[in-house]
Amino acid sequence: MTLKKIFLEALKNKTAVAGLVLVVFFALIALFAPVLAPSSGRDSYQMPQGGYSVQPQAPNGEHYFGTTENQYDLYYGIVWGSRMAFKVGITVVFFALLIGLLIGGIAGFAGGWADEILMRFTDIIFAVPSMVLAMVIALF
């Protein structure tokens, strides 16, 4: 099956199209974050704070999505947060690919007992729920 056929088949699935539209939308927001929510000279990943009131503000002309309880601008946080989410996602996928290639390459090249040990290790990783595994890894 060619790549063109796969793409055309995916376009017939409404859920796949909706997912693609969302990913492209947030990718564009992440790409144009400096234009959509320019930083005011300080660290761009620090949300601007408009005061210290514990009462959140409703959306208005100055804060498009309103503010949190310490007057942090939600619009700014969402725009720059999408950029950080893409960075984290790409980094995680890169390292998962690297580890998977390493384990699969060793298992495929060595075969025999090395393959069995690595595959049982992989089975253990898949058997443990993701949240428990994340907590165990964070312990170290």
Q: What are phi and psi of 52, to 5 degrees?
A: -130, 20
CA 43 vs CA 39, 50, 61: distances in Å: 7, 16, 23
Q: Which residues of 60-80 are buried (b: 16+ CB within 10 A; e: fewer)?
A: eeebebebbeebbbbbbbbbb
Please report which confidence band the pLDDT of residue 121 belongs to, taking 50, 70 and 90 as the band edges.
confident
Residue 50 pLDDT > 80, yes or no?
no
Distance CA 62, CA 90 (A): 33
What are 45's two structure tokens?
């990943």
Residue 33 pLDDT > 70, yes or no?
yes
Q: Residues 68, 63, 34, 81: is their CA dihedral positive or negative?
A: positive
Total number of residues shown for the chain: 140
> Has this prediction a pTM greater than 0.75?
no
Cα 121-122-123 angle, rounded to 5 deg: 90
Tabulate helix, strand, coil % of the chain (nearest 5).
Answer: 70, 5, 30
Q: What are phi and psi of 8, to 5 degrees?
A: -65, -35
Residue 1 pLDDT > 80, yes or no?
no
Every domain of the chain and the residues it spans? 1-31, 32-139
Q: What is the pLDDT of residues 51-109, one digit of tens each?
A: 788 888 888 888 888 888 888 888 888 898 898 899 999 999 999 999 999 988 999 99
